[in-house]
Amino acid sequence: MIQKNEISRNILMSIFVLLSGAIIAVGRFYDERLEIFGVNITVVLSFLFVITVISVFVLIKSINLSLNKLLLYLFFSVLFISNLTLWIFFDFTDYGIEKFINFILIPLPIALVISEKFNISDRNNMINILLGISFFLFVVTLLNISTLSSSRSGVLGGGPIVLSRWLCFGAIITMFHPKINRFKIVFVLLFLVSALFTGSRGPVLSFLLVMFLYAFFNFRKIFLKSIVALSFLVFIGLITGAFEHLSQYKTVSRIFMNIQEGGLRKSTGRSLLFESSVKEISDYPFGVGSGNFVEYTGNSQYFKNKNLYYPHNLLLEIASEFGVITLFLFLLYLFHSVYLSFKINLTSKLITGNMLFYTFAFLLLNSMISGDLSDSRLLFVFIPLMLVKDEK
């Protein structure tokens, strides 16, 4: 009987992992663009996901409350309550409603299931599914390379930032996956070159920052290898003219800041968004509600004309829209999770330690410079994922 229950549990968790990966990739419960033969696949996917989540929650007979789980529950609870309260005073927008619903109903239940029911096998399956999604998007990118070389586009209902994030996520996982050895560097480079064609700087910059972080922590171990590898890549690039050839594409040249056009020194850059966010937080320290950043900033009309509706920084977005108290709880949860992750990896000496830490670092860094709250769903899923212990 115990064995049969265990088999049923494993089957259900496998279905949950598969559907979670799919709904994370889409990022929303409904998208009119994702229709095949007259059937909207997001509706079908969302229905199956909800049914599976409810079924998995039935398996949770009791909750072993730890400090980390308490911080997680507090953060989401305060965010939820504060947002509904703020909407009463500051009104709401279609964008704000969609972002809030997708955030509460996608990363939240997945994170709760991971923290309560996942074991090492479930965690590894989830990572493999997410890597598979990255590879699928890599193939889609190759098939649409001619379009991507001239204009910024996305897939699966997301924009170019989302596509680039998935491709760089695939590069990070491949780089540090303990079971991927053959042609590792080749696959990483292919993921990165594909990301260049999205024209989105944030994920590529985040990947490079993670590589610098890795080099800093492992300076003696990899210094010589890194010098040799970089020298070889630069030599090949110069001999083949690859750098010059890639820079001719409009989207690729944008990655390198379009220096001749001003790059981030333009008034449309992140600096103006960050400055406006800080000012708004100062004016409304308890927040203005989901989606209302652009409605109450001093540069409202300017940002609307540029289709900039959020700060492009997760911390500033949480503080400006949900308040500094919500941000404080998130930072407590974040720092405590990092502490636990180091503790788990150091004591257990997990071979997946590097992959978990550097993937988390990539997702966190990327959330600081691109995407909105809903776009950070991978980060909110990955935090409990890197804290899974073997005894569950």
- Per-domain boundaries in the chain: 66-385
- Check residue 352 and report its DSSP letter: T
Structure tokens at 112: 């709760």
**Which tops the pLDDT comparison, 230 or 284?**
284
Mean pLDDT of 203-226: 75
Q: Confidence band (pLDDT; 50, 70, 90) for 379? A: very high
Q: How far apart are CA 220 and CA 229, in angstroms?
A: 15
pLDDT in tens, 9-22: 788 889 999 999 98
Give the H or E element holding residue 392. Answer: none
pLDDT in tens, 279-320: 999 999 999 999 999 899 888 888 888 778 889 899 999 999
Per-residue confidence (pLDDT) for residue 264, from 0 to 100: 44
Q: Please say if the pLDDT value at position 135 is more than 70.
A: yes
Per-residue confidence (pLDDT) for residue 259, from 0 to 100: 41
Q: How far apart are CA 184 and CA 173, in angstroms?
A: 10
- Between 107-117 and 120-143, two packed helices, what is the crossing angle to 10 degrees? 140
Per-residue confidence (pLDDT) for residue 362, from 0 to 100: 92
Per-residue confidence (pLDDT) for residue 211, from 0 to 100: 85
Q: How far apart are CA 295 and CA 96, in angstroms?
A: 11
Helical H runs in the chain? 2-26, 41-59, 67-90, 94-105, 107-117, 120-143, 145-148, 160-176, 184-196, 201-217, 219-240, 242-247, 250-255, 270-283, 293-296, 300-305, 314-322, 324-348, 353-367, 377-385
Per-residue confidence (pLDDT) for residue 320, from 0 to 100: 94
pLDDT in tens, 1-11: 456 666 787 88
Q: Please say if the pLDDT value at position 247 is more than 70.
A: no
Q: How far apart are CA 130 and CA 170, in angstroms?
A: 8
- Mean pLDDT of the chain, nearest integer: 80
pLDDT in tens, 148-179: 544 555 555 556 778 888 999 999 999 888 88
Q: How far apart are CA 231 and CA 172, in angstroms?
A: 21
* Tally of CB atoms within 10 A around 234: 11
Q: Please say if the pLDDT value at position 119 is more than 80.
A: yes
Q: How far apart are CA 275 and CA 98, in angstroms?
A: 26
Per-residue confidence (pLDDT) for residue 266, from 0 to 100: 47
Q: Give exposure, 278-308, as e/b (b: 16+ Cβ within 10 Å).
A: eebbeebeebbbbbbbbbbbebeeebeeeeb
Q: Are 286 and 88 in contact (CB under 8 A)?
A: no
